[in-house]
Amino acid sequence: MHAAIALGAPDRRAPKRVLPGFKVTLGFTLFYLSVIVLIPLSALVFKTFTLTWEQFVAAVSSPRVVASYQLTFGASFLAALVNAVAGLLVAWVLVRYSFPGKKIIDALVDLPFALPTAVAGISLTALLASNGWVGSVLEPYGINLAFNRNGVVIALIFIGLPFVVRTVQPVLEDAEKELEEAAASLGATRWQTFRYVIFPAIGPALLTGFAMAFARAIGEYGSVIFIAGNMPMVSEITPLIIIGKLEQYDYAGATAVAVVMMGFSFAMLLVINALQSWQRKRAGA
C-alpha cells in the first residue's frame, strides 16, 4: 500500500474535498451572512417600519432629499461614464504597451482602494480650491472645481476609476491578438477592428466595470464632503442627508432614506451579477 502511494497511485482513503461537506459549508455560509449582512440590514428595515406610510413618503420625498438624489445619482452616472472611457484607455495602455515606469503606474491605479477616502477628499480640495495648485490657475477664467457639483463629480471619478481598469484589464490580456491581425490583413481600419473585433469581446467587462463604479459612487461619503461644499439643494449628497438626520436624532427618517439607497444599491448588484454572468457565457461560447 505504501509503495503504491509512493509510486503515485491514488489513495482511495484520501478525502475527495479539502473543505467539509455541503451541509457544513452551507450552514457556515448562511450563518456568516446572517450575522454580517442580513441582521444589520433587517434592523434597518424594521426601524423604518416604525413610520407610517405617509411619514415614510414624506421623509424620502422632501425637496431637500430629492435634490440630494438628483445630485448623487446624476454625479455618480456621469463619473461612471468618464471612468468607462478613461478606464478603458488606461487598461489598454497597461496591457498593450511596455514603457519605463509601467509597474508604478499599474500600482497607482489601486491607490484609491488603499487610500482613506477622507484623505482623498482633503487632497482633492487642497489641489482644486481657489488657493490650490490647479484651482488658482483656473479661477481667473471663471472655472471653479471645488465646493460645488463639479467637485462631487471629480471625487467620484477618483474613487471609481480602479473598478473599470481592473475589470477590463484581464479581459484585454486574454483577448486573441490574432483576430486583430486577421482583421487588419483583410483591410479593416483601426476603428473597424476596435468596433467589430475588440469591443464585442470587452463590452461585457466594460459594462460590468461601469456598473461597479456607478454603485460605488452612489454610496461614497468621505471623499465628497470635503470638496462638495455641502450646500442644501445645491451640492448636498444623500449620504450626508442620512448623517444629518442621525445627528438630529431622527433615526427613523435616516433609516427611511437609507432603505431607498439600499434598494438602489441592491438593484445595481443584480445588474452587476447579470453582466458578469453574461460575460462568462460569452467567454465560454
* Predicted pLDDT of residue 32: 83
| Mean of the per-residue pLDDT values of the chain | 86
pLDDT tens for each residue of 124-159: 999 999 888 999 999 889 899 999 999 999 999 999
Three-state SS sequence of the chain: CHHHHHCCCCCCCCCCCCCCCHHHHHHHHHHHHHHHHHHHHHHHHHHHCCCCHHHHHHHHCCHHHHHHHHHHHHHHHHHHHHHHHHHHHHHHHHHHCCCCCHHHHHHHHCHHHHCCHHHHHHHHHHHHCCCCCCHHHHHHHCCCCCCCHHHHHHHHHHHHHHHHHHHHHHHHHHCCHHHHHHHHHCCCCHHHHHHHHHHHHHHHHHHHHHHHHHHHHHCCCHHHHHHHCCCCCCCCCHHHHHHHHHHCCCHHHHHHHHHHHHHHHHHHHHHHHHHHHHHHHHHHC
The residue extents of the domains of the chain are 58-284
* Predicted pLDDT of residue 277: 79
Q: Indicate if the pLDDT at residue 5 is higher than 70.
A: no
Q: Indicate if the pLDDT at residue 193 is higher than 90.
A: no
List the CATH code of the domain at 58-284.
1.10.3720.10
Q: Indicate if the pLDDT at residue 9 is higher than 70.
A: no
* Predicted pLDDT of residue 115: 87
> Predicted confidence band at 117 (pLDDT cuts at 50, 70, 90)?
confident
> Predicted confidence band at 16 (pLDDT cuts at 50, 70, 90)?
low
pLDDT tens for each residue of 248-267: 999 999 999 999 998 888 88
* Predicted pLDDT of residue 184: 77
